[in-house]
């Protein structure tokens, strides 16, 4: 009887988990506005020219992301930024999008160093967003958390019936939904380049 009971409990758990994932995906899809509808506006609203960002990346590459630089969170952010931009230039991954993402990611990593995410479950951020009146800030928190998981803890993404690809989709979608509310250019690029930049970040963090 105990064995049958355990099987029933497991089946119920799987069903509930599956429904939560489906609800999460449906909620996210309901919030997302096609990136293409914003593409022209994003291109018109570029606040950083490619030349300026390339010059900054080149200067950062000349600096050394060594441990002596890391004396505080500002130093840690600089170290991350140096490593990310150096990697991008060496791999010839250049563009306004990736350079802006590198700066944003440096801030995410520093925030994570001083504050652990409120939750590792994305449904919690959807609920929080609704409780906050749908201002989108909770969606950004959820997207940042997805990015941290995919970049630093990929093994944690593959638990139970979840996979890393699910977190990539959720993170990208949450950034997209937040962009639709704020129009922030860097968030547009994070949504579009989520998977690429998570791979770049994973490579870079291991070298610091």
Compute the average pLDDT of residues 149-153: 91
Residues 6+ apart with CB under 8 A from 159: none
For the chain, the domain total comes to: 1
Q: What's the rounded mean pLDDT across residues 165-194?
A: 93
Highest mean pLDDT: which of 20-24, 120-124, 171-175?
A: 171-175
CB half-sphere exposure, 65, CA atoms < 13 A: 22
Judge whether 106 and 84 are in contact, CB under 8 Å. Answer: yes
- Categorize the per-residue pLDDT at 65 as very low, low, confident or very high, splitting at 50, 70 and 90: low
Per-residue pLDDT, 191: 95
Residue 30 confidence (pLDDT): 47
- Give the mean model confidence (pLDDT) for residues 176-186: 93
Give residue for tokens 């609920």: 127
Distance between CA atoms of 114 and 117, rounded to whole angstroms? Answer: 10
Quote the CA–CA distance of 4 and 86 in Å, as a whole number.
57
What confidence tens digit (pLDDT) does each residue in 52-63 have? 877 777 777 767
Q: What is the pTM of this model?
A: 0.71
> pLDDT tens digits, residue range 8-36?
333 333 333 444 455 455 545 444 434 44
Number of C-beta neighbours around residue 78 at 10 A: 18
Q: What is the pLDDT of residue 64?
A: 60
pLDDT: is 190 or 53 the higher one? 190
Q: Number of helices (H) and strands (E) in the chain: give both, helices first.
A: 11, 0
Length of the chain: 208
Q: What is the pLDDT of residue 179?
A: 94
What range does the domain containing 137 cover? Answer: 2-205
CA-CA distance, 124 to 206, in Å (whole number)?
30
What was the pLDDT predicted at 74? 67
161's CB contacts (< 8 A; 6+ apart) are 14, 17, 18, 21
């Amino acid at each position: 009887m105990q064995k049958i009971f355990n099987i029933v409990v497991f089946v119920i758990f799987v069903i509930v988990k599956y429904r939560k994932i489906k609800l999460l995906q449906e909620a996210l899809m309901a919030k997302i506005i096609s990136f293409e509808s914003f593409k022209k506006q994003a291109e018109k609203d570029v606040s950083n020219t490619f030349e300026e960002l390339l010059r900054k990346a080149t200067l950062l590459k000349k600096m050394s992301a060594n441990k002596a630089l890391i004396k505080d969170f500002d130093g840690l952010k600089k170290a991350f930024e140096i490593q990310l931009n150096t990697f991008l230039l060496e791999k010839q991954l250049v563009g306004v999008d990736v350079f802006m993402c590198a700066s944003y990611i440096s801030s995410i990593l520093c925030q994570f160093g001083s504050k652990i995410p409120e939750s590792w479950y994305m449904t919690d951020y959807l609920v929080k967003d609704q409780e906050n009146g749908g201002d989108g800030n909770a969606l950004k928190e959820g997207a940042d958390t997805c990015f941290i998981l995919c970049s630093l803890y990929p093994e944690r993404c593959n638990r139970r019936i979840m996979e890393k690809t699910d977190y990539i989709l959720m993170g990208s979608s949450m950034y997209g939904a937040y962009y639709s509310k704020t129009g922030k250019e860097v968030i547009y690029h994070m949504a579009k380049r989520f998977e690429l930049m998570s791979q770049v970040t994973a490579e870079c963090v291991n070298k610091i």
